Amino acid sequence: MKFINTGILGVGSAIPPKIVTNFDLEKILDTSDEWIRTRTGIHERRIVEDGVCTSDLATQAARAAMQSAGVTAAEIDMIIVATITPDTITPSTACFVQAKLEAINAAAFDISAGCTGFIYALSLGHAYIQSGACKRVLVIGAEVMSRFLDWQDRSTCILFGDGAGAVLLGPVQEPGILGFKLGADGSQANLLIIPGGGTNQPASRSSVENRQHFIKMCGNETFKFAVRIMGEVTQEALDAAGVGKSKLDFLVPHQANLRIIESARKRFELPEDRVVVNIDRYGNMSSASIPVALDEAIKSGRLKRGHLMALVGFGAGLTWGAAVVRY
Ligand code: ACO
């Protein structure tokens, strides 16, 4: 079987206009700007207005990606949305996006892989193009984290923000997506979980009263895992792509904590300007962090066609994944 080369044809993102600073959070929580900045690197995050949901941000990001690629909605074969904050449990957020885009020829589905969702979705989109099954695949990472945060829990709610990013994948002459590595360890599921609302703990008066529909995280354990896995999986993806770390132009990491990003930067001996960071302005946008960072690096002119990058994520599941891509 002959494999088709896959590349990124267009990139886009959508960021809600409303800014919530650490100082705003000081007014509702026992926290401080100083604690949040020094422990996480976050200064502010974006939060959607009432009535805006995940598919709205996803659609906006998808439109921007389609526009930058010069592709119309009718040309899209498949829409994959990575999210842990879907509009509804069923149908998928991707189906709402399909309707909003009027992408009448597209199949649509969601995948859930925590903050690694975008990398998992990218690997799927790549496989569909590579096999010849699809010609134009929209891969979107979109989250409205603010609706699943417990605003009384200072250890989690300060970390996250809302946003969406999208890439449009298609066949290309020279290979764009060069190698992947994905992984999971479900035995660690409780480290980062929304316990209520599924078959294990259906919505009930007590599940609501006990705040079971919000994100719960063991920050410390997740932190140690993230530091270890980010370096390991990036190296494994480089090996799968047959590329030495000295060839990397950019690292585009998941934005969970500046200290985690710094540890990966040092491991790959990259100068600061070769690591894309936006956690200071947006916090952790889960599946959206990587594609938003990618879009901003391209729009600002830092990341150009021909550059070699490693995209790396980790999160709930636990899950992890990295992709080596020539843009
Ligand atoms: N303001 C002030 N104090 C706080 C806050 C806050 N917002 N939150 C916690 N504290 C306190 C704690 O109560 C604790 O106090 P104590 O010592 O009196 O008990 C103290 O600060 C230290 O708490 P730690 O949890 O040990 O702080 P740590 O340095 O580990 O930082 C953090 C916490 C920022 C959450 C860090 O552990 C982290 O970034 N973890 C990784 C998160 C991550 O990568 N998640 C995965 C991706 S997310 C996804 O998949 C959806």
At 271, the amino acid letter reads: P
Do 132 and 217 fall within a single domain? Answer: no
Identified catalytic residue from 95, 115, 134, 157: 115
Of 140, 174, 208, the last residue of a domain is: 174
What integer is the mean pLDDT of 57-86? 98
Do 30 and 66 fall within a single domain? Answer: yes
Work out whether strand 19-21 and strand 44-46 pair parallel, antiparallel, or are unpaired.
Answer: antiparallel
| Number of the ligand 1 atom closest to the C-alpha atom of 157 | 7
* Number of other CB atoms surrounding residue 75 within 10 Å: 16
Dist CA 327 CA 316 (whole Å):
28
What pTM did the predictor assign? 0.96
CA distances from 249 to 91, 285, 307 (A): 39, 24, 6
State if residue 315 touches ligand 1 by the CB under 6 angstroms criterion: yes
Domain interval for residue 208: 178-326
Do 153 and 94 fall within a single domain? Answer: yes
Do 10 and 151 fall within a single domain? Answer: yes
Residue 1 lies in a domain: no
Identified catalytic residue from 22, 126, 134, 254: 254
User: Structural domain tally of the chain?
Assistant: 2
Distance of CA 245 to the CA centre of its chain: 23
Residue 232 lies in a domain: yes
Do 156 and 14 fall within a single domain? Answer: yes
Do 188 and 300 fall within a single domain? Answer: yes
Of 20, 33, 39, the residue with max ligand 1 atoms within 8 A of its CB, to mutate for a pocket test, comes to: 39
Q: What is the CA radius of gyration of the chain?
A: 19
CA of 82 to the centre of ligand 1 (A): 25
Long-range pairs for 218-222: beta carbons < 8 A, 24 or more residues apart? 218/190, 218/191, 218/192, 219/155, 219/156, 221/188, 221/191, 222/191, 222/192, 222/256, 222/318
Q: Is 183 left (phi over 0), alpha (psi -120 to 50) or beta?
A: beta
> Is-catalytic flag, 213?
no
CA of 122 to the centre of ligand 1 (A): 30
Tell me whether the omega of the peptide bond preceding residue 91 falls within 30 degrees of 0, making it cis: yes
Do 129 and 205 fall within a single domain? Answer: no
| Number of the ligand 1 atom closest to the C-alpha atom of 25 | 7
pLDDT at residue 141, as a whole number: 98
CA of 316 to the centre of ligand 1 (A): 16
pLDDT digits (tens, 9 = 90+) for 238-285: 999 999 999 999 999 999 999 999 999 998 889 999 999 999 999 999
Do 108 and 58 fall within a single domain? Answer: yes
Of 154, 174, 194, the last residue of a domain is: 174
Q: Is the pLDDT of residue 1 over 90?
A: no
Do 129 and 188 fall within a single domain? Answer: no
CATH of the domain at 133: 3.40.47.10
CA of 92 to the centre of ligand 1 (A): 32
State if residue 221 touches ligand 1 by the CB under 6 angstroms criterion: no
Do 132 and 218 fall within a single domain? Answer: no
Please choose, from the candidates 133, 114, 149, 142, the residue with its C-alpha nearest in 3D space to the C-alpha of residue 14. Answer: 142
Do 27 and 166 fall within a single domain? Answer: yes
**Token match 């020279």: residue?**
174
Instruction: Tell me the pLDDT band of 189, cut-offs 50, 70 and 90.
Output: very high
Please choose, from the candidates 241, 233, 282, 294, the residue with its C-alpha nearest in 3D space to the C-alpha of residue 258. Answer: 282
Specify burial of residue 246 (Cβ count, 10 A radius: 0-12, 13-18, 19+). exposed
Please choose, from the candidates 54, 275, 279, 262, the residue with its C-alpha nearest in 3D space to the C-alpha of residue 159. Answer: 279
pLDDT digits (tens, 9 = 90+) for 274-314: 999 999 999 999 999 999 999 999 999 999 999 999 999 99
| Number of the ligand 1 atom closest to the C-alpha atom of 319 | 50
pLDDT at residue 2, as a whole number: 79
The helix or strand, by DSSP H or E, that contains position 172, with its residue range, turns out to be: none
